[in-house]
Every structure is written in C-alpha cells, then in structure tokens.
Amino acid sequence: DARVTQTPRHKVTEMGQEVTMRCQPILGHNTVFWYRQTMMQGLELLAYFRNRAPLDDSGMPKDRFSAEMPDATLATLKIQPSEPRDSAVYFCASGFPGIYNEQFFGPGTRLTVL
C-alpha cells in the first residue's frame, strides 16, 4: 500500500530554532507539494516540485523558508529561524501528472513554535 510518509509527525521547538521537515513521496511520483494548514488560513500551497525542480514557491516566505529535493525519494522543508506564527500542520503530497492529476497526502507534521 503505497503512501506518502512524513517525519517528524510532531515537533515542538523554541522561537529562533531551525526546523527541518522531511517527506518521502510515493515511489514513481515526480511531483511533490508542500502545504501548510492553520485554523485561520486553511490549506495553503507553499511550494511544489516536478522532477526535483521547483516549479512554484510563491506561497512560501522566502526569508525563512526553503524547500529542496535532494533526490527523488526525499523532499525537505526548512524553516530558519522559526517563529510562533509558523505553528501549523505541514502536509506533503505527491502525484504524477496525468489524466486525473490526483494528489496523495502524507500524515503531516504538526509544528509548534513556542
């Protein structure tokens, strides 16, 4: 049963610390998405990659957030330095462009910045 995995599932950190979240897309999927979900803003697309190249990162605060795909099996989202307003659930999703363009979501990383 192929699924997207994310680590860590929960992260509590202090303001100013660096946070790295990891995502393993479903094998064979070449598109990876990072979303942030908060009560106030709902589900926001931060960035997405195709074939490891960033296609759109316009939703991401550039000064503190960075997203990379070191290889086809790993995507990372880094926040440095973290701030309390970054507290949210961060979801990774993967997909493969085709007829349905469906995205498969991971379980999320719940981040709390104190």
Partner 1 sequence: AQSVSQHNHHVILSEAASLELGCNYSYGGTVNLFWYVQYPGQHLQLLLKYFSGDPLVKGIKGFEAEFIKSKFSFNLRKPSVQWSDTAEYFCAVNGAAGNKLTFGGGTRVLVKP
Q: Which is nearer to partner 1, 25 or 106 (CB)?
A: 106
Minimum CB–partner distance for residue 35 and partner 1 (Å): 8
Tell me which stretch binds partner 1 (CB under 8 A): 15-23, 37-45, 62-70, 80-88: 37-45
Contacts of partner 1 in 39-98 (CB under 8 A): 42-43, 45, 48, 55-56, 91, 93, 95, 97
Cβ 99 to partner 1, closest distance in Å?
6
Instruction: For residue 34, count CB atoms less than 10 angstroms from its CB and return exposed for 0-12, middle for 13-18, buried for 19 or more.
Output: buried
Task: Count the residues of the shown chain that bind partner 1, applying the rule CB under 8 A.
Answer: 22
- The angle at the Cα of 16, spanning 14 to 20, to the nearest 5 degrees, equals 80
Write the DSSP symbol of residue 34. Answer: E
User: What are the structure tokens assigned to 38, written together?
Assistant: 């908060």
* Between 25 and 95, CB nearer to partner 1: 95
Choose the stretch contacting partner 1; rule: CB under 8 A; options: 15-23, 61-69, 71-79, 102-110.
102-110
| Residue 25 is a binding residue for partner 1 (CB under 8 A) | no
Three-class SS state of 86: helix
Tokens linked to 42? 């709902």
Q: What CA dihedral angle connects 96, 37, 83 and 32, to 10 degrees?
A: 0
